[in-house]
Amino acid sequence: MTDRDLAPLFLSRGEAFIAGAHWAAAQAHSDEHVLSNVCWGLELVLKAFLLAHGVTDDHNRRVHGHDLLKAAAAGQQLGLALDRKAKRFLTDVAPYARRHAIDEALARRPDLMQRYRPLQRADEIVQEVKRACADGLAPATDATSSGHRG
């Protein structure tokens, strides 16, 4: 299995976190719960894009870590198109997500959820990653997700 083969798995797991965020919002869970899931999901989705474009998992871990802004910037250098709203959202939330301090982000920016609509931003970013990767993100199969090649 190559690092590029990990891209569909990262994407599907990222989408699962974002789906969890939608569920949490519908169940009236805390903004911290919702936004944490959005950030975890976006980290995986952005790394899926990078993996699909030849960036190694080791590089992602060492260079981008949990930094949404670094991963997004690297993606943009490889052709990922993020609109102004997505860039602003990532710029504001990334420093807190990197430190797992979403509660602090919400305390400092009480309007963050209304201002950025993170669920909508996350959905848009996922769609852009899928569009930009087209054939490079085939769905993960049991063979790829279990680490075996068919």
Residue with tokens 């301090």: 101
Is position 97 within any domain? yes
Is position 108 within any domain? yes
- pLDDT at position 78 is 95
Q: What is the largest CA-CA distance in the chain?
A: 50
3-state secondary structure 9-28: HHHHHHHHHHHHHHHHHHCC
Domain count, the chain: 1
Is position 141 within any domain? no
Provide the residue range defining the domain that includes 103. 3-135
Is position 149 within any domain? no
- pLDDT at position 133 is 87
Find all residues with CB under 8 Å of 35, minimum gap 6, and list them.
Answer: 21, 93, 102, 105, 106, 112, 113, 118
Is position 147 within any domain? no
Q: Say which amino acid occupies 97.
A: A
Is position 73 within any domain? yes
Is position 89 within any domain? yes
Is position 93 within any domain? yes
Cβ 119 vs Cβ 25: under 8 Å: yes
Instruction: Classify the C-alpha dihedral 61-65-66-72 as positive or negative.
Output: negative
Alpha carbon dihedral 48, 53, 57, 61, in 10-degree steps, equals -80
The Cβ of residue 111 has, within 10 Å, a number of other Cβ atoms equal to: 8
Mean pLDDT, each 10-residue run in order, the chain (150 residues): 93 98 98 98 98 96 96 96 97 96 96 96 97 69 35
